[in-house]
Structure 1
């Protein structure tokens, strides 16, 4: 009943407008306050291409910190380089939520009562998307392109899907991981060919500005930066093991944790007979979006929009839910999405939330719940039929 009233008061089309407006406004506020170095790190490395200087050393005259993205991304951001910062910040933070909304819209397009599920998903995602926008990060863009790519695979538009996954790869490595879902759909060989073609084409694009020798040196420097990058904040399973259970923060231990996570993620793919079941595919996508963050040693708060999008997909596409599922969703909203906000006093955030990776815990619990569901549900086909029969009632609960 409460959900019905909310949807009547703020219909889906208005929710999307409000969603985009608030995210753009939040980024403009940060710009006015002078906190937009992340944007400068995206927009200004193109200057290094123009002046034939390496991007992979400190360039304090352009931005703070060290650039860790690909030469291709620097080339793609060239239009923003030529814009005044106020306009570039606005358009960059308009692009990100629009692509995110498009990803959610099309991914849920074939669902029963799709608009209802889109509304609920966007409401769940909003706080995390706002955190990403305030940091002017690319994560809203990445997860939107991942969902659009999976939708295009579903529609057998493999060249467009491969284009989006390739763009993800050249922005953030883990974005290309969503390409694994080509296994569920036809035209597998064509998709792999398309991935190779797009990867090569994009790799060569910066050669329109610099020589091939310079480009090769930049790729070598980029890979070295990625390999040598220091650990992030460990807002993830590795962080929980380090800060809760005193696991030594060594490369060896972290590799073991990553290997365990990868193994757990891949095992449900063994249910080959379920690959064609839409409800199985949806759960696996949600499962992947959580996995790619909670086992990521570089995970930090703004990356969690991917995990929360996974939670939202899990919630709205579930054929049935129980009390445990509702509790888990509540934990995600409160302790993952709202814990970095002023709803929690600074001393709680600084003394408990941040040091103990509390933000990651609810997402880990949901991921374990998905693991259980993937292995214990007898037939995704039967579950899908049940879900269709009760979709309207379930979506509003």
Structure 2
């Protein structure tokens, strides 16, 4: 049976057309379906980040053209510019395609075999489809983390610094790219490259507006994030689709609405730091990939801003972990649990009753990923990464 499963995975991974078809096809279907249904509010917000920047209006206030508010940094106004200049139908679809392409290219750079890369793309294609249906920017954030990992491994610290700072200046998550700091032999080059890119990317939005406006926008961004963080934790007020994180899961399951996030984040940081006790293996590709998988999961699991579409960042981690594992029935069963519990839990493949009464009110999507992250930490501490295929 296990041999048949391995042959099936090899067969899937060897089909060069299958991974791109699912990766781009599912995303485009989801984007087109939502656009023609009039459900493209996120893209409308994104487009107006550019428009408001050029008009000198605040980037973080409510506007009648859309509901909700922008929570991305001023640098995002530059990235969205070419798409915002197009008609909505063209701009929105190309935006989704651009996000999918950047993450696709990042995964293609991972130190995995071609078959393993294809399997990661196949397994993560449904999660990408979910993000694409919301016209989300999260695929590029995931790509920033993967590219920072890849560039550090290749000794290209200057470009690793670019992806770290670009991610940080748009959604803060990019700073997690520093998790791979110890994999470089040119640490000072990475540090001063981050300073250079920090200055360049901070100033870049000024091409659309004045320096004083951009500086003020950064201040407003900070204030907006503080407000959003407070709102995300208020699941007792009916905001159920926010804070799909480890903290949100624990608060909802154990009815602890006012639990401090420090009770979860501090132990998580200790466990994350403990993974570096195995730094003597930093030259091992398997150890590096385990740290990558852990970092991708950590980024989403311990952020109160996590929503269902944010999990395209996290879910790349379990996919990378799985392709490294011996194909035992235990590993297969565990990955299927994560695949269904995380990637499919918000889809139509789950009954409305389950979504309404279990998945949404208890932030269940975070649970399989939390278990996966703890398994990865355990395997790193016990040097199980030395037993990968």
Q: TM-score, normalised by structure 1?
A: 0.89
Change (3 A) 1:373 1:7: closer
Q: Does the residue aligned with 1:336 lie in a helix, a strand or coil?
A: helix
Q: Which residue of 2 aligns with 1:144?
A: 143
> Structure 2: how far apart are the matches of 1:243 and 1:105?
38
> Where in structure 2 are the equivalents of 1:337-352 lying within 5 Å?
337-352=343-358
Q: Which moved more, 1:217-226 or 1:44-53?
A: 44-53
> Where in structure 2 are the equivalents of 1:163-202 lying within 5 Å?
163-202=162-201
Q: Does the residue aligned with 2:232 lie in a helix, a strand or coil?
A: coil
> Structure 2: how far apart are the matches of 1:331 and 1:147?
24
Residue 7 of structure 1 deviates from its aligned partner by: 5.7
Residue 356 of structure 1 deviates from its aligned partner by: 1.4
Residue 167 of structure 1 deviates from its aligned partner by: 1.6
Q: Does the residue aligned with 1:358 lie in a helix, a strand or coil?
A: coil
Instruction: Please give the per-residue CA displacement for 1:107-145, whole angstroms capped at 9, x wherever unaligned.
Output: 13xx3xx12111221122111111111111111121123
Residue 351 of structure 1 deviates from its aligned partner by: 0.9
Q: Which residue of 2 aligns with 1:122?
A: 121
| Corresponding position: 1:314 with 2:318 | no
Q: Does the residue aligned with 2:286 lie in a helix, a strand or coil?
A: helix
Q: Does the residue aligned with 2:362 lie in a helix, a strand or coil?
A: coil
Q: Which residue of 1 aligns with 2:99?
A: 96
> Structure 1: how far apart are the matches of 2:29 and 2:316?
22
Q: Does the residue aligned with 1:59 lie in a helix, a strand or coil?
A: coil
Q: Which residue of 2 aligns with 1:236?
A: 245
Residue 4 of structure 1 deviates from its aligned partner by: 3.9
Q: Which residue of 2 aligns with 1:276?
A: 283
8 Å CA contact retained: 1:24, 1:133: yes
Residue 6 of structure 1 deviates from its aligned partner by: 6.7
Q: Which residue of 1 aligns with 2:81?
A: 78
8 Å CA contact retained: 1:353, 1:359: yes
8 Å CA contact retained: 1:328, 1:362: no
- Counterpart among 33, 39, 49 of residue 37 in structure 2: 33
Residue 240 of structure 1 deviates from its aligned partner by: 2.1
8 Å CA contact retained: 2:163, 2:174: no
Q: Which residue of 2 aligns with 1:206?
A: 205
> Structure 2: how far apart are the matches of 1:304 and 1:197?
31
Q: Does the residue aligned with 1:190 lie in a helix, a strand or coil?
A: helix
> Structure 1: how far apart are the matches of 2:149 and 2:359?
34
Instruction: Please give the per-residue CA displacement for 1:189-234, whole angstroms capped at 9, x wherever unaligned.
Output: 1111111111111111122232222222111111111122121622
Q: Does the residue aligned with 2:72 lie in a helix, a strand or coil?
A: coil
| Corresponding position: 1:289 with 2:296 | yes
8 Å CA contact retained: 1:335, 1:358: yes
Q: Which moved more, 1:268-277 or 1:298-307?
A: 268-277
> Structure 1: how far apart are the matches of 2:292 and 2:300?
13
- Counterpart among 368, 371, 374 of residue 368 in structure 1: 374
| Corresponding position: 1:68 with 2:80 | no
- Counterpart among 267, 290, 294 of residue 260 in structure 1: 267
Residue 5 of structure 1 deviates from its aligned partner by: 5.2
Q: Which residue of 2 aligns with 1:395?
A: none
> Structure 2: how far apart are the matches of 1:54 and 1:357?
32
> Structure 2: how far apart are the matches of 1:142 and 1:134?
16
Q: How many residues align?
A: 375
> Structure 2: how far apart are the matches of 1:184 and 1:6?
31
> Structure 2: how far apart are the matches of 1:174 and 1:220?
18
> Structure 2: how far apart are the matches of 1:307 and 1:295?
11
Q: Which residue of 2 aligns with 1:394?
A: none
Q: Which residue of 1 aligns with 2:62?
A: 58
| Structure 1 moving runs of 4+ over 3 Å | 1-10, 320-324
Q: TM-score, normalised by structure 2?
A: 0.91
Residue 103 of structure 1 deviates from its aligned partner by: 1.4
> Where in structure 2 are the equivalents of 1:318-337 lying within 5 Å?
318=325, 320=326, 322-337=328-343
Residue 12 of structure 1 deviates from its aligned partner by: 2.2
> Where in structure 2 are the equivalents of 1:376-395 lying within 5 Å?
376-377=382-383, 383=386, 387=388, 391=389
> Structure 2: how far apart are the matches of 1:275 and 1:24?
39
